[in-house]
Amino acid sequence: MKAIALGAVSGALFGVGLSISGMTQPAKVLGFLDVTGRWDASLAFVMGGAVAVYALAYRLIRRRSGPLFDAEFHVPASKTIDPPLLVGAALFGIGWGLGGFCPGPALVSLGAAAPNAAWFVLAMTAGMLLQRFTAPKPKTETESEAG
């Protein structure tokens, strides 16, 4: 129950931060992406601040023997940059550039009843479902060991 409450508080704080920073405004995001026109650099400071806070928190949290609400930390083991990762990153960037949203701000904007956010979230959900049902399933440890 504590984990759910902590997740809700964290999500609400994240949503408030996105709203205050302007990340939920597609015009502001598109202004940031328009580096050859009327570039709006303010979101670079938002992202830089977020990366700095995350980097510090990550280092402090990883010093702990384990997480507070789980038996172990779940950190991706793979450090491979492969074609699916690159294609996914490109699709993410294209979606961000066309819609002015990325997933977090789109969900916050959806909660504020922004019509464009509804279309974006619908398309995002369709893309996630398409990937889920068409991507090859990763091998489990048992299958990998068997050969």
In this prediction the pTM is 0.70
Q: How confident is the model at residue 147 (pLDDT cuts 50, 70, 90)?
A: low
Per the CB < 8 A criterion, the answer to whether 28 and 20 are in contact is no
The three-state (H, E, C) secondary structure of 54-75, written as one string: HHHHHHHHHCCCCCCCCCCCCC
Q: What is the pLDDT of residue 57?
A: 92
Domain spans, the chain? 2-137
Residue 70: the pLDDT is 82
pLDDT at 56: 96
